[in-house]
Amino acid sequence: MKDISCKLLVIGAGPGGYVCAIRAGQLGIDTVIVEMAKPGGTCLNIGCIPSKALIHAAEEFDKIAHLASGRNALGITTTKPAIDLSQTIAWKDGIVGRLTGGVSGLLKRAKVKVVQGRARFRDGKTVEVETETGRQIIRAENVVIATGSVPVALPFLPFGGTVISSTEALSLSAVPDRLVVVGGGYIGLELGTAFAKMGAKVSIVEAQDRILPQYDAELTRPVSKRLKALGIEVMTGAKARGLAKSGGALLVEAEDGTEISLPADKILVTVGRRPVTQGWGLEELVLDMEGAFIRIDERCQTSMRGIYAIGDVTGEPMLAHRAMAQGEMVAEIVAGHKRAWDKRAIPAVCFTDPEIVSVGLAPDEAKKTGGETKLGLFPFLANGRAMTKQGEDGFVRVVARADNHLVLGIQAVGQGVSELAAAFGLAIEMGARLEDIAGTIHAHPTEGEAFQEAALKALGQELHI
């Protein structure tokens, strides 16, 4: 097979990798991308997109089931619903298929050469790829490592049979009667909530003293309330110990030290993700590491000239939009543009019920910067649009410096608040002050008005509370 030479080689066609390759192609860079599976990576194929499809289906089913119960304020009744999960999964797979096809089309339009197979470094400029038709050698002036991450497995709960990762959870053919989720982070809560809405009896086991420990307690309180309403059992300060001898239950050490057996048809382990640093010839390179992650500078440059790394393999936050922004930047650097990673804030969204959005600094983090702060919180209970959607449980919160009113952080929890992430991120990226947000006319009636009202509250000029 004839060797390939190129200016840029991207290893991994996840969100960061394919965006890097597309942008490089647009800039006229001779680019090759290697991917051993489908384009789109974890996010598109077995992560962000399919999980949101499942969450949406679960929400629709839950709405109909609520109407069928007769216990609703809207005066709508219907018959008891049923769900065919295999059909739901087929619908989800159709969405994924269209999107992966779209990515392939974009790569082709950008004149990016796609090589399917597993890449392995021979040295810092040479990679060999095992393809279906043989070994392909690729030599590149610049290389981008975008190999992503995979779910963390627990040694005493290896994946297989009853024990599943998020990947298997998104491909189940039927709703399990009893689901135990190990890990109370965003992945576990998103999927656990979805299956509870579809009729599963769900228990969540979290080792720390509360769920979603990466968010402050004020933000997670409405989520905890909703979990209880859905009948989801939440055990905090509890540690999974392994499968019962029968295999149909999870042994858990409760907070008080007692051992509990939780019956389970499926045990979903969501205790984090680890970077994929093995299997592609890392040992042939001399890369500085930060723990399990590849160390990079403000240009995503590794310790070896001409080798860049982006996305999950470089550390937290492991978010697709961070990888995309890094990929775009690296492509422009390779094209000779002067770029550096200088993001003020990266939005984080948790698609629980209700949803959580956080951009920038939380109140406690802002206080640690040393200066006095102002805080404004506006509840959705006083927002007309939220009330008409029966989604008034939640709020928008703005944190700013007290001296010049520069906005340091914005958080929200509530129904559909993920769509406010763009406005929040833009405000911080543009260096908005409280007066900028308060002085912007927000459309009525929308949940976005709560953003303006929170800024007004921080200024002491609140109107509707």
Q: Supply the residues annotated as catalytic.
A: 444
- Distance from C-alpha of 334 to C-alpha of 49, rounded to nearest angstrom: 30
> CA angle, corner 233, sides to 227 and 237, nearest 5?
105
Q: How far is CA 22 from CA 12, 106, 112, in A?
A: 13, 7, 7
Bond before 347 cis per omega within 30 degrees = no
d(CA 352, CA 388): 20
Q: How far apart, in whole angstroms, are the C-alpha atoms of residue 334 and residue 102?
A: 25
**Contact (Cβ atoms closer than 8 angstroms) between residue 356 and residue 219:** yes
CB 326 within 8 A of CB 341: yes
Q: What is the 3-state secondary structure (H, E, C) of 446-457?
A: CCCHHHHHHHHH
54 torsion bin: left (phi>0), alpha (psi -120 to 50), beta (else): alpha
Give CA 75 to chain center in angstroms. 36
